Amino acid sequence: MRSCHPSALPLLCLVQGCERFAFYAMLPLFVLYLHHRHGFTEPTALLILGIFNALSYVSGLPGGLLTDRQLGPTSALLAGTALLTFGYGALAIDRGPFLGPALVLLVLGHGLFRPSIAALLSSLEPPVASRHDRNFLWLHLACNLAGVAGPLCGGVVSTGHRWSELFRLATIAMLVGTLVLSATSQQIFPKGQIQRISSPSRETSIDTATRWRAVILLCSLAVVFWLTALQAGGSLVVFAEFYTWRRIVFFGAPIAIGPTHFASLHALLVLVMLPLFIRGSGWLRRRRIAPSTPVKMVWGYVATAAAFVLLATAGLCGGDTRSVSPAWLTGCYLLLSVAELLLGPLGMSLVTQIAPPNRIGHAVGLWFTAAGIGNVAAGGLGLLWGYWPNHRYFALLAIVSLGAAAVLLARLRQLEAVNEAPASR
């Protein structure tokens, strides 16, 4: 049984937080930056952002292969953070010729960063599912904290279209993560230990082909997770804007509400639930009644379906043509926050556990490729908005989510068998 350096998990959470802070500081303002600074039309700017996001996810597949076969997770993570730092630095120069190279650097940086940090995280503990899940949940907490702080700080420094200040902030955040990782990685992740972790020391009871089939199944279903999760930035925004009351009375005082309030509510719910979820999982585990990770994921897809059933019902109760109570959308976000915890970090945790030895980066790359496909699918499905009544649009999302739950439930025993089989990482 292996043990990890006590600072390993906090270090990875810090580095992940720096990366997410930089990304989320830039993301909400990037379309405006392309429009006002470089003269792109708004549709073109949105297209560029969509292509950039998709490539940033899909690049995880070659990045994962490179991590497994050539660089190793520590070197790949260092290279990824360095490329991201240079990418944001190129944007901070704020010159037209640097825009294209900067975006290429960012895509390459994300391609190395995402699979390598997941591979390192999976190497921290003995192959026990509950410990893997806990580590990925803590990493998800770091992502959400950065997701709250990044846009707020980015909005402050970029006031008055000070774009170079915005990207300088992102560069500084990534530089902090890169320098801290460079200074401590050799002590916390010794090269020999990582190589030993990544090499199989005994035969596994599940063959490689079976493991890959399980990984591909999870990544295929992850397209549904990303498709539904991305509705928070699409159909749910439109529903909040045009089909939800814009004012409520709280203790006799009228309060204006809008899409941004619901988005903030979603982030707040995740932040509040995550520590409670970790503590609750530990309580169940100590009493030996904790469900397996695949079972939790089944419930995640069920919670997603329930969220959209709620909005489909809202549509039938008047939300197809007029505004309805914000309680409908609040309940939807509550269920989607539960689903996010059960499907996002736990899904990636399970992928790293069932991946064949020496192929964790490749498997994580497939997971993020599914995210890229989910982005495209969300955009394509959005074309139906306005042509279908709201209740039919949300009902389709509910049916797709229930279908994913049914497929996962049908393969539950096989996934649990692969997850419980001994495999040295």
How would you class 265 by CB atoms within 10 Å of its CB: exposed for 0-12, middle for 13-18, buried for 19 or more? middle
State the pLDDT at residue 53.
82
Q: What is the pLDDT of residues 96-129, one digit of tens each?
A: 888 889 999 999 999 999 988 988 888 776 555 5
Q: Are 24 and 152 in contact (CB under 8 A)?
A: no
197 pLDDT exceeds 50? no
Angle between helices 208-229 and 293-314 (to 10 degrees): 20
Mean pLDDT of 194-198: 43
CATH of the domain at 148: 1.20.1250.20
State the pLDDT at residue 196.
38
Same domain, 358 and 410: yes
Same domain, 88 and 177: yes
Same domain, 61 and 75: yes
Mean pLDDT of 246-271: 73
State the pLDDT at residue 222.
92
368 pLDDT exceeds 50? yes
Same domain, 100 and 236: no
173 pLDDT exceeds 80? yes
Mean pLDDT of 342-362: 86
Same domain, 362 and 244: yes
| Torsion angle of C-alpha atoms 359, 362, 368, 373, degrees rounded to 10 | -130
Same domain, 157 and 266: no
Mean pLDDT of 377-397: 86
Last residue of a domain, one of 198, 222, 245: 198
In 149-304, the DSSP E strands lie at: 247-250, 253-256
Last residue of a domain, one of 198, 220, 252: 198
Task: For residue 185, give both structure tokens.
Answer: 């990685």
For the chain, what is the mean pLDDT? 83
4 pLDDT exceeds 80? no
pLDDT-based confidence at 77, cuts 50/70/90?
A: very high
Same domain, 268 and 303: yes
How would you class 279 by CB atoms within 10 Å of its CB: exposed for 0-12, middle for 13-18, buried for 19 or more? exposed
396 pLDDT exceeds 70? yes
State the pLDDT at residue 230.
81
Same domain, 9 and 109: yes
198 pLDDT exceeds 60? no
Last residue of a domain, one of 154, 169, 198: 198
226 pLDDT exceeds 60? yes
Q: Which residue would you say has higher pLDDT here, 307 or 31?
A: 307
State the pLDDT at residue 127.
53
Q: What is the pLDDT of residues 275-311, one digit of tens each?
A: 888 888 888 888 888 888 899 999 999 999 999 999 9
DSSP string, 331-362: HHHHHHHHHHHHHHHHHHHHHHHHSPTT-HHH
Q: What is the CA radius of gyration of the chain?
A: 22
Mean pLDDT of 321-337: 90
Same domain, 209 and 193: no
Q: Which residue would you say has higher pLDDT here, 202 or 147?
A: 147
State the pLDDT at residue 191.
61
| Domain count across the chain | 2
C-alpha–C-alpha distance, residues 3 and 116, integer Å: 19
**Percent of the chain predicted with pLDDT > 70:** 89
Q: Which residues pair with 244 in a beta bridge?
A: 324
Mean pLDDT of 217-237: 86
Residue numbers of the domain that contains 314: 204-425
Same domain, 118 and 224: no
Mean pLDDT of 38-47: 76
Same domain, 186 and 229: no
**Percent of the chain predicted with pLDDT > 90:** 27
Q: Which residue would you say has higher pLDDT here, 133 or 13?
A: 13
Q: Are 2 and 197 in contact (CB under 8 A)?
A: yes
Q: Are 236 and 332 in contact (CB under 8 A)?
A: yes
Same domain, 311 and 225: yes
